[in-house]
Amino acid sequence: MKKLILKISLAFLFVSSQILAQQTPGLTQSESILITGVTAHIGNGTVIENAAIGFDNGKISFVGATATANQNDFNQVINAEGKHVYPGFIASNTTSGLVEVDAVRASSDIDETGSMLPHIRSIIAYNAESKVTESLRPNGILMGQVTPRGGTISGTSSIVQFDAWNWEDAAIKVDDGIHLNWPSAIRNGRTWMGEESGPTHDKSYSANLTKLKTYFNEAKAYLQGGQTPRNLPFESMKGLFDGSQGFFVHAGGVKEITDAVNFCKEMGISKLIIVHGNNAHLVADLLVKNNIPVIIDRSHSLPSHNDEDVNFPYKRAGILTDLGVTVAIGIEGQMERMQSRNLPFYAGTCAAHGMDKEDALKLITSNAAKILGIDDIVGTLEVGKHATLFVSEGDALDMRTNNLSHAFIQGRKLSLETHQTELWKRYMNKYENQD
């Protein structure tokens, strides 16, 4: 009887593991592949009709017209006539892979206890087998900047690709930047303390800035003098001062953005990136002058101010682009892990509200790659870059036609199955076979 129970238990565990496990990562590319007959959206604004994209050993080796490609040079030819090929989409400022179930605290590695945590590395906590992350791939989202949350200095983000056994295999760029939640100059009045309701100036704003300056000056002094005892948080900030890391400042207001720019000049930090930037269009000249890009919030959101155009969140990316600011779309917000799969449709909404379609594509391809410092290897379909790309039956920025037939990460062919598609097939089969 005990043996029977053991066998049943083992069988149950085996079946459960098949249901719960993520798709097995693709095998290393072993033969050259040429995709022909497609409309190629290069990611830099260029579109090539009836194009061919070839890749070998995980790198793109040919980009051009189908008529000019020598198909005999490739082991496998995929005829994708009438379809579209895109570079893999990049989710900036996302927590995908850091939280599996919001209601289960043990599955959440989104933040840590404390306020000043530049040494906290999100990459260590990244779950490469997350079901949520797996669900992004069928929409063409193949890479992401995994970002911590919480505190004043949240920690360090890293950039990963979404086809790996573990975080080491997933990493594209480790510790790309440090994230700081800039103090707000405005807060809502605390009526329970006798204050008037509505927005009011935060009297602690100046004091909070002073604390920041003190902390950063102490870090600079530590790095220059090599004081003891060892200070890991200060050591982790070295990349900010030598220019090897980005400084992602999460700020929205005009005063906060302006103060952040001046703060970086004073501290000698050269790679400032504004995250959120709800009012960035009001200081666009300052951003352009100092070559500061912005990762805006997802476009499917409400206006930031009562007097703002209800459609302004849809138009923000286009307005900033027209003003000369380099823009990408971030994911942060309510239910952001699950909402991440809508990234291409956020860009599509920008296109539907006046932005050029190929410029909207840049928000999640070349612009994102440039801001994150990985544009030398991904972000566009160019010879020598990673073969991280996908083929869609239609417009990938339109939820009605974004239907992937093929996807590759570094030349590896991906399975586009997810927990959702498996359940869909299971129950469709059930109902289709009912008497």
Tens digit of each residue's pLDDT (9 = 90 or more) over 285-310: 999 999 999 999 999 988 887 888 89
Mean pLDDT of the residues in the chain? 90
Whether 91 and 84 have beta carbons less than 8 Å apart is answered as: no
- The candidate with the shortest Cα–Cα distance to 254, out of 224, 222, 287, 231, is 287
User: Which pLDDT value is given to residue 157?
Assistant: 97
Which amino acid is located at 331 in the chain?
A: I
Question: Does residue 207 carry a pLDDT above 90?
Answer: yes
Using CA of residue 325, residue 326, residue 328, residue 332, what is the dihedral sign? Answer: negative
User: Which pLDDT value is given to residue 64?
Assistant: 97
User: Which pLDDT value is given to residue 110?
Assistant: 87
Question: Does residue 366 carry a pLDDT above 60?
Answer: yes
**Cα three-residue angle 56-69-44, rounded to 5 degrees:** 75
Whether 303 and 313 have beta carbons less than 8 Å apart is answered as: yes
Question: Does residue 20 carry a pLDDT above 80?
Answer: no
List Cβ neighbours of 331 (8 Å cut-off, separation of 6 or more). Answer: 91, 92, 93, 94, 95, 96, 298, 339, 340, 343
In eight-state DSSP terms, residue 116 is B
List Cβ neighbours of 322 (8 Å cut-off, separation of 6 or more). Answer: none
Domain 22-88+379-435: CATH superfamily, name plus number: Urease, subunit C, domain 1 (2.30.40.10)
Proportion of the chain above pLDDT 70, given as a percent: 92
The model's pLDDT over 414-430, given as tens digits with 9 standing for 90+, comes to 999 888 888 888 898 88
Residue 173 has φ and ψ, to the nearest 5°, of -145, 115
Question: Does residue 14 carry a pLDDT above 60?
Answer: no
pTM above 0.75, yes or no: yes
Query: Whose structure tokens read 């199955």?
Result: 417
The model's pLDDT over 135-146, given as tens digits with 9 standing for 90+, comes to 999 999 999 999
User: Which pLDDT value is given to residue 18?
Assistant: 42
| 3-class SS of residue 344 | helix
User: Which pLDDT value is given to residue 17?
Assistant: 41
The model's pLDDT over 23-48, given as tens digits with 9 standing for 90+, comes to 789 899 999 999 999 999 999 999 99
User: Which pLDDT value is given to residue 226?
Assistant: 66
Least confident interval from 6-10, 248-252, 346-350, 427-431: 6-10
Provide the pLDDT confidence category of residue 379 given band limits of 50, 70 and 90: very high
Q: Which two tokens stand for residue 77?
A: 């030819």
Domain ranges of the chain: 22-88+379-435, 89-378
CATH of domain 89-378: 3.20.20.140
